[in-house]
Amino acid sequence: MKGLRRVSAVTITAGAVLAAGAFTASAQAATTASPTIAAKGGFVMNNATGKSLFTKAADGRLSTGSTTKIMTARVVLAQPNLNLDAKVTVQKAYSDYIVDNNWASSAKLIVGDKVTVRQLLYGLMLPSGCDAAYALADKFGTGSTRAARVKSFIGKMNTTAKSLGLTNTHFDSFDGIGHGANYSTPRDLTKLASSAMKYSTFRSVVKTKSTKQKVTTKSGGYRYMSWTNTNNLLGSYSGTIGVKTGSGPEAKYCLVFAATRSGKTMIGTVLASTSVDNRTKDAKKLMDYGFSR
């Protein structure tokens, strides 16, 4: 009987070991399983190495919505001898543009106010101000008319895209309200964001949850502009450092995102997700997956 009990005990112990091994294997499989996202296209990579960690239609051309404004900011920041404290007077054309375009998000710039280039970048990237985008295009384009300057600025956006090797990207607007030829891909937008994040000003802006900026009024006084970031990963996903939301009738719901944990940075994009909540969930899934690799 004693012998039988010992055999039985060994059998149970071996079974327990096998069960534990199976549990560990299934747990590991669960943490490394490729995620399912609602977005039509998605991509995430290790920002330091450029290694692709997840792809879903990563090279499929899709409308980008306001994620376009990453390129708007990138072009501005690459200007030679850039003075971030240079003041720009808000023109009526910028506010009229908001009125004329139903999908145009606004920084609520006030005609006649003088705002700095730096402040325009906050107005561009936090509340996703199309009026701020217009002001920047007008300021940094070249030409004798506003239309010529805007056309020139969009040309700079496309030249920059080519120089960065973004072969599936084209812009026909300064803000993402396109005219039939404003598109990119999850992979290209991620590469663009990675390039933009090399600028310290860009990094400072896109990680800001909210800001209050003092601007000069037409009469020489001042007012405060308060802007809140549309990227709700900030404060809801540990380590988030940016970068930009986008939406529109064609673009649906887009998000270019980045986060750093334990010295490792994940950066990626989801395009054409099904809702604001789902684009956020998609991004979190991709970053979780990236950090687990």
Catalytic sites, residue numbers: 66, 69, 128
List C-alpha distances in Å: 53 to 34, 58, 76, 155: 9, 11, 30, 32
Q: Give the integer Cα–Cα distance in Å for 257 and 230.
A: 12
CB 213 within 8 A of CB 114: no
CA dist 188 and 256 (Å) reads 11
Structure tokens, 75: 């072009």
Distances from the Cα of 264 to the Cα of 46, 75, 208, 220, 261, angstroms: 7, 27, 20, 47, 5
Tokens for 228, please give them.
């809140």
Both tokens assigned to 117: 């280039």
Torsion (CA) 196, 202, 206, 209 in degrees, nearest 10: 170
**Residue 274 · residue 252 · CB < 8 Å:** yes
